[in-house]
């Protein structure tokens, strides 16, 4: 069964907020398998001021972060959990990252992430983003959920 999520539901699954929330909508999600989400790229993004003023391009590292955030939503849905103050879902690895085309204001990134392995608390994913059906970036990602230790007061 495929699930869709609007921005309110996304905010329940991710601790990220503006300007670092990089997923606008979930179009499809199948627990334990895959997610398709979107990121609308706007000229109002704060990084475009300096990257690059004469030719605005979304930084590749933020494209990877958007894919990792989509992976986090998929994992939280799979675990039937929500983001909370007692845990954090860390992005712990990137392999085989490739950038195939620039992403510019006005583009819509289609974020496609598939779980490839879950073992010993480490989740592995195959991920790619597309613009108008063309691959913008692709990578193998790893994430893990960790409990936050209370601070000693």
User: Is residue 4 within a helix (H) or strand (E), and if so which, with residue range?
Assistant: none
**What is residue 153's predicted lDDT score, i.e. its pLDDT?**
64
**Tokens matching residue 126:** 């195959």
Q: Given 13, 16, 51, 54, which residue is catalytic?
A: 51
Q: Where are the domains of the chain?
A: 7-147
Residue whose pair of structure tokens reads 């510019």 in the numeric block: 104
Chain CA centroid to CA 82, Å:
15
Q: Mean pLDDT, 10 residues at a time, over the chain (153 residues)?
A: 94 92 98 98 95 95 98 95 87 97 98 96 97 98 89 68
51 is catalytic: yes
Q: What are residue 39's DSSP bridge partners?
A: 109
Q: Whole-angstrom Cα distance, residue 101 to residue 129?
A: 10
CA distance 55 to 104: 8
pLDDT at site 5: 97
DSSP 76-113: HHHHT----TTEEEEEEEEEEEEE-S---TT-EEEEEE
CATH code reported for the domain at 7-147: 3.10.129.10
């Amino acid at each position: 069964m495929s699930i869709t999520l609007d921005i309110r539901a996304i905010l329940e699954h991710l601790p990220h907020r503006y300007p670092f929330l990089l997923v606008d909508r979930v179009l499809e999600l199948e627990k334990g398998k895959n997610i398709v989400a979107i990121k609308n790229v706007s000229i109002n993004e704060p990084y475009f001021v300096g990257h690059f003023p004469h030719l605005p391009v979304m930084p590749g590292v933020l494209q990877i972060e958007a894919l990792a955030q989509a992976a986090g939503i998929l994992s939280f849905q799979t675990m039937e959990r929500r983001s909370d103050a007692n845990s954090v879902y860390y992005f712990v690895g990137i392999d085989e990252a490739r950038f195939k085309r620039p992403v510019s204001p006005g583009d819509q990134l289609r974020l496609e992430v598939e779980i490839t392995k879950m073992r010993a608390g480490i989740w592995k994913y195959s991920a790619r983003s597309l613009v108008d059906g063309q691959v913008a970036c692709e990578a193998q990602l790893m994430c893990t959920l960790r409990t936050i230790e209370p601070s000693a007061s």
